[in-house]
Chain A
């Protein structure tokens, strides 16, 4: 029966209450009748009965407690109560939920990025055995060296070589420039992946050069370009003008071992001369274009594997000093183009993680402050609840329920924000001609992280106010002296003070960091590029893709250039194999005349561009001395070059290298004369130090890769359309890529800094929002605590100014203390930031002052409303109120 009742009360709490009321009423009525029968009047009987019974509400509460309603029911009641509280005070709830949502949302996004880049294992068999083989100076090897390593190591189950390569894929006569992999026959076996359809190629499919026209499609390509054709296996596709058999389709989600690179097709390595027509390097010891992966034998450590490969490397250096002297092998984790790629990603993501943790911490401090402030409003209510018999555990549970509810709501909203942002990030395609993709679909670990983060926040920062409330001293609160009682308690005051100061300090660091990075970005944008990107349009294509030979290619390049020069509105046009700050940068070995030969990996290198006459002026590169190339610098005439200032200083040790000669090529090749000097610029990245660069006449050195550069006041898009049309009339099979204004293309070089600046600005803004809500809550708290005190002061003649000082003096002192701490933290953090952010000085007084003023302003704004309330306090009602 009791169990039944218990169940009933769980299901129908209302019935429990009704029955209790009825029982009490029955008692009272019976008693009243008893007194009337003793001769009392009805009024007196009612009074006596009530007196004898005692506090009805108190006994009801005790009955409920005695009945010990099921915990779930209690939680339900607490939740309803908490919801009512939120409805009654939506401003507080919104501030708390929004700040938590932002904090948790940001954390979740950054954690997903962190997880997908650095924690998630690659979709291959036993990924921890697979290592990336790099050298001390780069991530690539010559193919002959790959063979040597593969055949002479005993510590590896296998070494696979691969190469990212652009390809021209023709489907239904429509040429598409795609990116793919040339991979050795053991590539798929070594990674241990299973095809989604058909089969992969194996070592026996990759033995003879040019004899294995096979292609494996990526899952996405199969879906997008071939409409998930179930009968694709055995069909044929045309790549770079040759027919390839489709062997199979890679499993969904498999995209090789580089996290950012999503190739569309894999072709056996032995097809390299066909894929990269005119540049066969399978037997060339000087072309270092092969990337190597290794699978260690079980039980072999990376150090042992590295030592084993170095044994081979020493042998190579001994046998082939021209190409391999000084060769050292280093193993690193796969995924981010070796250690060179992993380190910056780790620094960047790690920095972000640190930053968002600071944001979350600020949000938590905020919640704690708001709960404290709120608890001041509720002290009276809690005192009443406890006086009518609610136990201290009950009150704590109630407060914790409320803070947990807030944090869970905040967490849910944060998760929604995170999911939306992650979706955007995964869909995002970098504005470059390269299959860059980041897959940050949040998985269960991310959800777990967000859930734990929000719950921990709620409990941790609800606990303080909960404990302080449950210890509420009934008498002093009910007598109206609570304000004083709390203020006397030194510990609590200093805790709140700590919150304000800490929040301001963290806020200062975040705002300072974001301004610093924005300043850095501005510095970079104002930096001399060494060329003038305004009004320049670039259009790239590769005459090697339709398999033109050199004569055909050269004829095509010249013909298209002539036609483009005749287009209306074109000031000038030229072409080159590549342009500065594009993705495609090449270096070559160079050596001053008469210098000791530096061989192999120790040789001096310079970036090089092969350019047509007029390129320098079209691209806006200033010629400082000497002359540009002309029509006479062709094959058969003496080798000439234009170099930049850094080349003069670093390679030739002179400020005016015009007329000097140097040796070109690995290990001291032919002699070249410098005929022109141009200004230094940026070539690979915007933050690089001066880099030696040499320009070759493209009429002397043919290259099938072509980037047309056009200077015109017309819109870039119009130029692109015109040029595409021209190319289409000349060869409809030639795919055009990388077309657009030079400024847009530079967006890629600027992208990391843009991303950092946007992220940091968002965080800075977020920090200010958080600080404003937090300070507002705390000042409101202080004012409401001291309403009585202010009332007395006004009553004895305090002026508005004195009230203002009374309310704000301490808060402002705390703000200043916070800012001072913030400045020292910011200086320390700025030191670290200045290594990432170009040309930004963390000691910039203007910047520090700006942040200082901004924060002071924010603090003032957030104090505004509660202060105004304090000024309006009417002494009479204030004293009566308490």
Chain B
């Protein structure tokens, strides 16, 4: 059970970043966010779709996302998410630290064995 939780933590962090990024490009409802993530990641990242919502609720609770009810393209009531100012600065920070992490890991993986 513990191990499972740790893994979920890792996934959550990444998912949060992706959600923030997707919403930063424009107002979206939940399903739209999913499609946007699929689109911008070139369908390379697949997530279980339900897992999106706990992330959305969490981000909303942290005041990183704002919500309002609106009407969707096919004329149905849907809940729309936008990025708050706090959300925008968080996205920036997360993006930077992600880049640093990726850079460091890439460098580490690119290292050649020098001594056997």
* Chain A contact residues, CB within 8 Å of chain B: 1-2, 5-6, 19-20, 22-24, 26-27, 29-31, 33, 52-56, 58-59, 62-63, 65-68, 474
Contacts and interface: CB of A to CB of B under 8 A. Distances in A.
19 contacts: A2-B61, A5-B67, A22-B77, A23-B78, A26-B31, A26-B76, A27-B31, A27-B34, A30-B31, A30-B74, A31-B31, A33-B74, A53-B48, A54-B48, A59-B50, A59-B53, A59-B54, A67-B60, A67-B61
B36 interface: no
Given A1-B67, A5-B67, A474-B1, A27 B54 contact: no
B43 to A, nearest CB: 13
Given A5-B60, A5-B67, A26-B78, A53 B29 contact: no
Contact of A67 (B29, B57, B77, B79): B57
Contacts of A29: 76
A63 B53 contact: yes
Contacts of A53: 48-50
A62 B31 contact: no
B66 interface: yes
Interface string B14-33: 00000000000000011100
A571 B48 CA distance: 105
B53 A23 contact: yes
Interface in B47-99: 48-51, 53-55, 57-58, 60-61, 63, 66-68, 72, 74, 76-79
Contacts of B31: 26-27, 30-31
Contact of A66 (B29, B54, B63): B54
Contact of B30 (A26, A54, A474): A26
Contact of A26 (B1, B29, B60): B29
A489 B63 CA distance: 46
B15 to A, nearest CB: 12
Given A2-B63, A19-B79, A31 B53 contact: no
Contact of B50 (A1, A19, A58): A58
Nearest to B32: A30
A23 B31 CA distance: 9
A102 to B, nearest CB: 41
B49 A54 contact: yes
A26 B77 contact: yes
Nearest to A55: B50
B61 A23 contact: no
Given A19-B79, A26-B76, A63 B54 contact: yes
Contacts of B30: 23, 26-27
B53 A54 contact: no
A2 B60 contact: yes
Contacts of A52: 48-49
A878 to B, nearest CB: 29
Nearest to B63: A2
Contacts of B79: 19, 22-23, 26
Contact of B54 (A22, A23, A62): A62
A29 B29 CA distance: 13
Nearest to A60: B53
A463 to B, nearest CB: 21
A498 B60 CA distance: 50
B61 A68 contact: yes
A65 B12 CA distance: 14
Given A23-B53, A24-B50, 13 more contacts: A23-B30, A27-B31, A52-B48, A52-B49, A53-B48, A53-B49, A54-B48, A55-B50, A56-B50, A62-B53, A63-B54, A67-B58, A474-B1
Contacts of A56: 50
B49 A2 contact: no
Chain A CB count within 10 A is highest, among B30, B54, B67, B78, for B54
Contacts of B78: 23, 26
A556 B2 CA distance: 98
